[in-house]
Chains A and B, each alone.
Chain A
Amino acid sequence: MSLLLRLLARYRRAVILTTALVLSFLLMTLQVRHESGVVTFTRQALLFVVSPFIKVTSATIRGVTGTWRDYVDLRALREENKRLQLETTTLKRRLEQLQDQALETQRLERLLAMRQASRAEFLTARVVGKDATNWFKTILLDRGSLEGIRRNQPVLAPDGLVGRVVEVTPSSARVQLLTDPVSAVGGLIQRTRVTGIVSGNLGAGARVRYLPLMADVAVGDEVLTSGMGGVFPKGILIGRITSVERKSGALFQEATLQSAVDLSRLEEVLILTHLDVREGFESGAGSQP
């Protein structure tokens, strides 16, 4: 025993490094084949602890940005006549508020129109955080299982598909964007009804893979969800084809896709909470630009 302890003490650097590396490797191995309870618990615990801070930080930043904008406005206008300055500042601030309100109302109206156009049930959530690495494309929402959010629920924006919920805590949820390198969504070219797989890419955008070689696919074609796979309802607009690649000798052709939703500027999203109703999207607001 003492020999073992002496050996451990002598080679402690190598032992600690090896332990850390093996533990990391083991954690990753546990997640590759199936969901591990330990890993899920660790992830959820981490997210549970950090998400309140993220929410507070996000809210603070919104407040500080507003205050800073007001401050900058005031400084710029100080050089002008005081009476006019006061009047201008008030009007300008009011105008900004109204513009912000108008934009928000527009966004919310579109979300509402989408909710009403389809018979599915939605939940609105605010985006409060982004992925902590540059390798994956996920976002953090301010709602969780307490509001009825579950794993694999589709997430939408007025313009189309955003992604799916991959992780839920009582008060927050992580959404895997359709541009995430590990994301895969069944896609359907609206014009020709050809199916393929829309998967994320390292870098911006997404690709439509496994399109039959002889299939009619053209730039500008709209791609909708195919409904295959059981996660996403059929007919939600994913994006538009921007280029098509047909490599000689390849079994399939591939296309690059521009997402219908600007995923870098998401502020509010809709989560499809009721999965029994899975029809009417293709003719509804979800497929309209």
Chain B
Amino acid sequence: MTWFLPGLLLCAMAQAVLLGPLSVWGIRPDLFLLLVFLVSQRVSPEAATGLGFLIGLCQDGLSGGPLGLHAFSDSLVGFLAARLSHHMYTDKPLALFWILLGGSAAAGGITLALLAFFLGPRLVLPALFRVIVPEALYTAAVGLLILCLPQIRAALTRPT
């Protein structure tokens, strides 16, 4: 886990600066959430909760939203992903995509619920179609690409 802090810093840089030109209709993939997924596959649920909290806190610090918003969803997602990591283990890209999509959508749903609770009722449908679904799709696609990189590389270097 020596890569955690450099990974977190890289995520912060990418999310704040690099992903701007890659945004589609103003939506960027949530790299912090992908980091939570990656971390939770390698540590215990207790550690995944703590690290998820830290990642979320960092994301909140770099955002205009209230501190604790993503810390809440990321610690919960981290815990669940680590707890269910044995059941979620798969090398099938489509299954992996659906897992990432579900996790990202769940994190979006939790964020929306918290925003509605603290900042007043949000419009559910606009949030669903303009933020949660596109963000989940984009995050799942990028996550799939990152997780399948070793397979892609192996396929490319395999002797014919």
Residues of A within 8 A of B (CB): 12-13, 16-17, 20-21, 23-29, 31-32, 39, 42-43, 46-47, 50, 53-54, 57-58, 61, 128-138, 140, 166-167, 174, 176, 180-182, 201-204, 264
Contact = CB atoms under 8 A, between A and B. Distances in A.
Contact of B67 (A43, A176, A202, A264): A43
A22 to B, nearest CB: 10
Contacts of A131: 16, 62-64
B103 interface: no
Given A54-B17, A133-B30, A20 B66 contact: no
6 contacts: A28-B114, A31-B68, A50-B9, A53-B9, A132-B16, A181-B122
A135 to B, nearest CB: 6
Contacts of A43: 61, 67
B45 interface: yes
A53 B13 contact: yes
B49 interface: yes
Contacts of A20: 49-50, 52-53, 71-72, 75, 79
Contacts of A132: 12, 15-16, 32, 59, 62-63
B53 A134 contact: no
B135 A28 contact: no
Interface residues of B, number: 52
A13 B114 CA distance: 23
A135 B75 CA distance: 18
Contacts of B52: 20
Contacts of B65: 133, 135-136
Contacts of A135: 63, 65, 69, 111, 115, 131
A201 B16 CA distance: 21
Contacts of A50: 9, 12, 16, 58, 61-62
Contacts of B70: 133
Contact of B127 (A23, A31, A174, A202): A202
B126 A203 contact: yes
B93 interface: no
A82 to B, nearest CB: 33
B58 A24 contact: no
B72 A28 contact: yes
B119 interface: yes
Given A16-B46, A17-B79, A61 B16 contact: no
A174 B59 CA distance: 14
B50 A202 contact: no
Nearest to A136: B64
B27 interface: yes
